[in-house]
Amino acid sequence: MGLLGTDETLKILSVLAQVFIGLAVLLSGRQVARAQYTKSFQDSWNEYNKLVLSNKENMEIDKKYIGHDLVGLDEDQWRKSYLGFVLLNIHETMYIGRKHGLMQKEFANDATDDLLRPLLADDHFYKLSQSRGYSTGFKRLCKKLRLEEERKHSS
pLDDT at 1: 45
Are 137 and 99 within 8 A, CB to CB?
yes
Q: Considering only CA atoms, which of 27, 21, 141 is closest in space to residue 88?
A: 141
Task: Please report whether residue 2 resides in a domain.
Answer: no
Q: Considering only CA atoms, which of 118, 110, 113, 54 is closest in space to residue 82?
A: 54
pLDDT at 120: 95
pLDDT at 74: 85
Q: Sign (positive/negative) of CA torsion 74, 48, 89, 132?
A: positive
Give how far Cα 23 sits from Cα of 11, 27, 35, 43, Å. 18, 6, 18, 30
- Residue 20: pLDDT band with limits 50, 70, 90: low
Task: Please report whether residue 16 resides in a domain.
Answer: no
| 3: pLDDT strictly greater than 60 | no
Structural domain of residue 136, as residue ranges? 36-154
pLDDT in tens, 77-125: 888 988 898 899 888 888 888 887 777 777 667 778 888 999 999 999 9
Global pTM value? 0.71
* Count of domains forming the chain: 1
Helix or strand or coil: residue 54?
Answer: helix
Instruction: Count H helices and E strands in the chain, helices first.
Output: 7, 0
- Please indicate whether residue 118 or residue 73 has the higher confidence score (pLDDT): 118
Task: Please report whether residue 115 resides in a domain.
Answer: yes
Q: Which of 13-22, 83-92, 110-119, 140-149: highest mean pLDDT?
A: 140-149
Q: Considering only CA atoms, which of 124, 125, 132, 139 is closest in space to residue 66?
A: 132
d(CA 145, CA 151): 10
